[in-house]
Amino acid sequence: MTGPTGPSTARTALFIYLSMLGAVAVALVMSVSLQAARVFPQGAGAYSDAMALAIAAGATLVFITVRRRLPMRRASETEEDWWRTNLAAALTLWATAEGAALVGAVFHLVSGSPTALAATALGLALLAFSTPASLAGR
């Protein structure tokens, strides 16, 4: 007799990915809404723009490096086996993109800078181009 099986690693990856995407969406909506309501004063200066861009650029470099190290799924390998082997690297990939997007949203909230929104958009784009389906080669 076999015991109950837990959720598949592929489903876990999808849940984590969608949670990260949702967190970025909520942060972006809150940042834009609060800035539109003028809750925070605008104009933190060029320093915050430079920081947002530096963080986005660093996150992009890490993202590209980690993405290149993720192997393609072999024909003989099941999707579940691929995820069991590569979930940690995928989490690093997604956390890097999510971090850039969240930092951009926070900088936008504080400064009202469109440059910070660009960092958020970059993080969202990185997440969009690294879906669980695309990583696992479906």
Strands in 54-128 per DSSP E: none
16 in a structural domain: no
Question: pTM of the predicted model, to two decimals?
Answer: 0.85
pLDDT at 68: 93
51 in a structural domain: yes
Q: How many whole angstroms from its chain centre is CA 47? A: 24
29 in a structural domain: no
Neighbours of 128 (CB within 10 A): 11
Count how many domains the chain has. 1
80 in a structural domain: yes
- Mean pLDDT, the chain, as a whole number? 87
11 in a structural domain: no
Identify the top-confidence range among 15-24, 34-43, 74-83: 15-24
17 in a structural domain: no
19 in a structural domain: no
Mean pLDDT of 94-108: 93
The three-state secondary structure class of 73 is: coil
- Enclosing domain of residue 79: 45-135
Of the ranges 31-35, 37-41, 77-81, which one carries the lowest mean pLDDT score? Answer: 37-41
- Residue given tokens 């479906």 in the structure block: 138
Mean pLDDT of 76-99: 93
**What six digits make up the tokens of 32?**
């834009």
91 in a structural domain: yes
